[in-house]
Amino acid sequence: MDKYLHGDHTRYDIKIHVVWITKYRYPVLRKEVGYRLRDLLRQGCEARNIGLLAGHIRPDHVHLLLSISPTQSVSQVVKYLKGRSSHLLQDEFPALKKRYWGQHLWARGYFCVSVGEMTQEMITDYINKQAEEDGKDFQVTE
């Protein structure tokens, strides 16, 4: 149980893999823009108590492995990271502000998948073993 994080009344290990792209897939995240984005994402995660476990910035997209608490939704986390980074990068790099004149550095949407050590099969087996009766998918123990 030591590997799990905890809140006042919870123990959890919620990890998500998130990917988002630049608008029009322009390869603008090179060199100093990419390094600055990395720093901004680190600062943003630290400010919101989001664990940044791994990341990779490609010229036209971002990959992050994040650890979040049960009180944070994926959409809130991504909205915060994309919004903050877009605003600050465009303020610091005039070429970005010129290219993205509508002030939208990132394309709408993102990809997200949960990550864990427990597979769906392991969880299903665990649930089914709780009441080894007739093998129904959803049982109530009386």
Over residues 72-104, the pLDDT tens digits come to: 999 999 999 999 999 999 999 999 989 888 789
**Residue 126 is among the residues annotated as catalytic for this protein:** yes
CA angle 64, 65, 69 (to 5 degrees): 120
In the CATH scheme, what is the code of domain 5-130? 3.30.70.1290
Sign of torsion, CA 15 16 17 22? negative
Instruction: Say yes or no to pLDDT of 123 above 70.
Output: yes
- The one catalytic residue in 4, 24, 35, 126 is 126
Residue 59: what are its φ and ψ, rounded to 5°?
-60, -30
Rounded to two decimals, what is the model's pTM?
0.83
- Other CB atoms within 10 A of residue 81 CB: 24
